[in-house]
Amino acid sequence: MIARAGLTEILLTEDTAAMIDLEISEGVAFITMNTPATRNALNNELADQFVQACEAADRDRSVGAAVIGGAGGTFCSGAERGAQLWSLRRRHRDET
The pTM for the full model equals 0.72
The CATH T-level fold of domain 2-95 is 2-enoyl-CoA Hydratase; Chain A, domain 1 (3.90.226)
pLDDT, position 83: 65
Query: What does the pLDDT read at residue 80?
Result: 81
E-only strand ranges, the chain: 2-5, 8-11, 20-25, 28-33, 65-70
What are the residue boundaries of the structural domains of the chain, listed by start? 2-95
pLDDT recorded at residue 48: 86
Instruction: Kindly give the confidence (pLDDT) of every residue in the chain, 96 residues in length, as a single tens digit, with 9 standing for 90 and above.
Output: 344 444 445 555 455 578 999 999 999 999 999 999 999 999 888 988 998 999 999 999 999 999 999 999 999 998 887 666 655 555 555 665
- Sequence-distant (6+) residues with CB within 8 A of 29 are 22, 23, 53, 57, 60, 63, 65, 66, 67
